[in-house]
Amino acid sequence: MAEATRIRTKAEEALANHFAALASDDAAAEIRNAAFDAFLEKGLPHRRVEDWKYTDLRALVRDVPAPAQPAAFDASRDALARADVFAPLAPARIVFVNGFFVPSLSDTKGIEGDVEFVSLNRFLADGGSFLSRSQLDASESPILALNGAFVRDGAALRIREDAKVARPLEIVSVFAGSEPGLQTMRHQVMVGKGAEVTILQTFSGPDGVAYHTNVVSEVQVEAQAVVRWIVAQEEGDCAIHLNLLVPRLADDVTFDPFTLASGSLVSRNEVRLSFDAEGSSASLRGATVAKGKQLIDNTLVVDHAVPNCASREQFNSAIDGEAHGVFQGKIIVRKHAQKTDGKMMSRALLLSEEAEFANKPELEIFADDVVCGHGATCGQIDEEMLFFLRSRGLDKREAERLLIQAFLSEVVAEIGDEAVAECLDERIRRALGAPASVTVGEAT
Amino acid sequence: MPAVQETIEQVKLLDVDKYKYGFITDVESDLAPKGLNEDIVRLISAKKGEPDWMLEWRLAAFRRWLTMEEPTWARVDYPKIDYQDLHYYAAPKLRATATSLDEIDPEILKTYAKLGIPLKEQEILAGIRKPDGGDVLEEAPGGEYASGRVAVDAVFDSVSVVTTFKKELAKAGVIFMPISEAIREYPDLVRKYLGTVVPASDNYFATLNSAVFSDGSFVYIPKGVRCPMELSTYFRINERNTGQFERTLVIADEGSYVSYLEGCTAPMRDENQLHAAVVELVALDDAEIKYSTVQNWYPGDPEGKGGVYNFVTKRGDCRGRNSKISWTQVETGSAITWKYPSCILRGDNSQGEFYSIAISNGRQQVDSGTKMIHLGKNTSSRIISKGIAAGRSDNTYRGLVSANRRASGARNFTQCDSLLIGDQCGAHTIPYIESKNASAVFEHEATTSKISDDQMFYCLQRGMSQEEAVALIVNGFVRDVLQKLPMEFMAETQRLIGISLEGSVG
């Protein structure tokens, strides 16, 4: 086969070497091998692979570091101190450092009655298996394939039926140390019937270290459950971040994922959501702040396989410097998915001469009784709005910052939880270079 | 909803098997042997009496084609085409360049008469026969054609059989003739522009076309001339197992204007026919080209048997400052339509437009859209696409809007709406929007829906019948685009939409 003889890139070679060096004695060895074979068959995705047209990993990923080792406690604690996006909410925390669960830094007090948690490591050791075997095929997703091959740990969570989890639950992933490493996590979350929960996911790491993060979260949401899934991605400025969220929704579920992406050199936030039963709704939203030479990619596949579901997709991106922003959103409405309601909007602000944005909102519709639409815009800050603020005495920089802030906050406000929104707004202000203490109100 | 159900039923009954242009004309043909090789390319070139440079160009394209692979990325599905099982040249046995209708096989004239194209009109025929035909039309009784005159180049299988109004056009300095003639008579002009918009190596089908194109139209509008009438080409595939590969080249020199119409039909045959044309438009400084297509190739029978594969490469180059190219297309025919009429907005302040109505029914497949490539400063483009899918068809809009780093002030507005009639069809929207310039402003919106219950209810409670209501709503749906069509095509288009979706348009 032509593919088999393809010359591997340096990064693919490194991955093969790292994989060969992994101990193959764990229970999941068979799955690992199958996953890595699936990866090798296609290699790193490149621009001729339609889903990766704008995020050419073959060109962007030069090298892949060896799997990271667990960090020392002090280093872990210091690294964790920076991952404080949601600190005001005082969430319960499940902490991973370099991809390994660290019980001594975690805190699940007060939610034990509602949430069952074991680390994936334990879960697998006790004979549990990956959910993915019945969900997504590794050959369809290079992120999943690599994850399957290299995963060591993660969170296996079960939210009990009808539990109303009062304290938000945060899954924190930090990278510690000055040597690059590859951290790979797999989270498996079951949300029981009628449960309500807010799950936060935070990523943080040091600038200047070319570490890699690969995380796959599989979420099974049972009937009538209400889930907010909030991601704050603040990886270090040399990091490669690959994140795949695979939710499956039963009937009458509300599932609202949000992604704030401001960190990493290259990041791909991919959501593949499928409606498995009727009456559910999902709102997928995100705010992106990119600068320097960053590439931030938000890719969604929303699969309406059954009738009477609604989805909203709304992503706003502010791209500065020489950064690239990518939005790819695909709404699929299958043959019998009548009464589907889907609306997708992607808006981008280009803030500098070199900034680039690629928008690909797709509709793929096989049912007739549907209302689906998408919109996409791309442009710069409205001169008239700028003029208005400047005529009120703001300098240009401050006026621009306010407008960008307002543009991004518009999506954040849609989350519908003020406390969470406030945490995210604060981080957006920081990412835009405003002093942390200055709020919009005070600036005017 | 009952109205829609009824519509579905009627569409089922009335759609593709009602193709009105499916007759076969019995004329003797001059056929090249089946198959494709360098000898065939040489044969075509020899038949056309082409100069050596043209033959070399064809051969280079052919050799290039041999190294290429057929693309498979589009959302269309068809059995593999056997390129060796086609005739690459078919000509009715007559002089290829008739100067008057007398010399044309009456069978062919009958064909065009059946198609209802303006050729059949006596006044216009007179216009050809008179040696000084120029002023005839002003004298023509009825006045009907005095304003809406159309010069027609009719292409039958591989050759252009007749071109009307040549003399009057010549008076204005407009060159309008079969491209095979232009290659002989204006080699410098053709050589300067041919392949500069769609290079011979552009894509699989364009490369094939470059090697074997048989005829097509050539238009040159000199500086500052506003073409005195609409120009039109009518394409007809007649012969069995032939591919039609025509090549159209339109050049609008500085400050000129031309409106060009293109229509196509083919007989009903069980096997598929390949149509792989290339259209190149060049607009120089301040020039404007308006290119309208009504494509009604045979769509195949209701089971999807037969029909034309319409794999066409159409591209316009706004080469000069302030130039403008506007594509308007009505796509109702073809088993498969796969084309993206595009604009390269190279000149500063240039404008591109794309207006499209694509109707698919039966088992038709459409993957069409446009590309607006903004290269110059302050360029603007506008895309309005209306897709209507019925029966078991698939209708895809695929489009690219891109702004180059230097394209400051680029502006695009895109609207693509899809209407689904019946639950067996699919409508898809795949836009690519790539901005590399901060001052570029791109807006895109797309909707997909069926005829809404609210709209229907509103119409019904005003006393309309369900049929009238559907007609009103569908007409409203495509109106933005219909209005962009030249008068000459309006009537035909409305009729075509009627045939394609009879039952819903009433």
List phi, psi (to 5°) of A25.
Answer: -95, 0
For the entire predicted model, the pTM comes to: 0.86
pLDDT at B233: 80
pLDDT band at B209 (very low <50, low <70, confident <90, very high): very high
What's the gap in Å between the CA of A428 and the closest CA on chain B?
21
pLDDT means over runs of 10, chain A (444 residues): 66 93 72 89 92 94 94 93 94 95 91 89 73 66 92 92 94 95 94 96 96 95 96 96 95 96 96 95 97 96 95 96 96 92 94 94 90 92 92 92 95 94 95 65 42
Total Cβ atoms within 10 A of residue B406? 12
For residue A328, the model assigns a pLDDT of 96
Which pLDDT belongs to residue A135?
Answer: 62
- The answer to whether A50 faces chain B, any CB pair under 8 Å, is yes
Q: What is the pLDDT of residues B385-418, one digit of tens each?
A: 999 888 888 999 999 999 999 999 999 999 999 9
For B161-205, write each residue's pLDDT tens digit: 666 677 788 888 999 888 888 999 999 999 999 999 999 989 999
What is the pLDDT of chain B when averaged over all its residues?
80
Contact call for B418 and A374, based on CB within 8 A:
no
Hey, are the CB atoms on A376 and B444 less than 8 Å from each other? yes
Q: Work out the percent of chain B whose per-residue pLDDT is above 90.
A: 39
**Residue A305 CA: distances (Å) to CA of A277, A329, B418:** 8, 16, 20
Q: 3-state SS of B289-310?
A: EEEEEEECCCCCCCCCCCEEEE
The 3-class secondary structure across chain A, one letter per residue, is CCCCCCCCCHHHHHHHHHHHHCCCCCCCHHHHHHHHHHHHHHCCCCCCCHHHCCCCHHHHCCCCCCECCCCCHHHHHHHHHHCCCCHHHCCEEEEEECCEECHHHCECCCCCCCEEEEEHHHHHHCCCCCHHHHCCCHHHCHHHHHHHHHCCECEEEEECCCCECCCCEEEEEECCCCCCCEEEEEEEEEECCCCEEEEEEEEECCCCCCCEEEEEEEEEECCCCEEEEEEEEECCCCCEEEEEEEEEECCCCEEEEEEEECCCCEEEEEEEEEECCCCCEEEEEEEEEECCCCEEEEEEEEEECCCCCEEEEEEEEEECCCCEEEEEEEEEECCCCCCCEEEEEEEEEECCCCCEEEEEEEEEECCCCCEEEEEEEEECCCHHHHHHHHHCCCCHHHHHHHHHHHHHHHHHHCCCCHHHHHHHHHHHHHHCCCCCCCCHHHHC
With CA atoms as reference, the chain A residue closest to B410 would be: A379
pLDDT of A221 reads: 95
pLDDT at B482 over 60: yes
A351 touches chain B (CB under 8 A): yes
More confident residue, B9 or B262: B262
How many other C-beta atoms can be found within 10 angstroms of the C-beta atom of residue A16?
15
Half-sphere exposure of A429 (CA within 13 A, CB side): 19
Residue B123 has pLDDT above 50, yes or no: no
Q: How many beta-carbon contacts under 8 Å exist across A and B?
A: 114
For residue A239, the distance in angstroms to the closest alpha carbon of chain B comes to 24
Distance (Å) from the C-alpha of residue A438 to the closest C-alpha of chain B? Answer: 28
Q: Does A338 touch chain B (CB under 8 A)?
A: yes
Query: How does pLDDT run across B210-243, given as a tens digit for each residue?
Result: 999 888 889 999 999 999 888 888 777 666 667 7
ipTM (interface predicted TM): 0.87
Mean of all residue pLDDT scores within chain A: 91
Q: Is residue B431 less than 8 Å (CB to CB) from chain A?
A: yes
**Where are the domains positioned within chain B?**
3-500
Instruction: Pick the most confident of A125-139, B252-266, B423-437.
Output: B423-437
Q: What is the pLDDT of residue B135?
A: 34
Residue of B398, B415, B429, B470 to mutate for A, most A C-beta atoms under 10 A:
B429
Distance from the A405 Cα atom to the nearest Cα atom in chain B, whole angstroms: 18
Q: Which has more confidence, B499 or B450?
A: B450
CB contact under 8 A, B426 and A364: yes
Residues making up chain B, counted from first to last: 506
Question: What distances in angstroms separate CA A367 from CA A258, A332, A335, B45, one per listed residue?
Answer: 28, 10, 5, 50
Question: B241 in helix, strand or coil?
Answer: coil
- Look at B434 and A357 and tell me if their CB atoms are within 8 Å: yes
* Predicted pLDDT at B334: 84
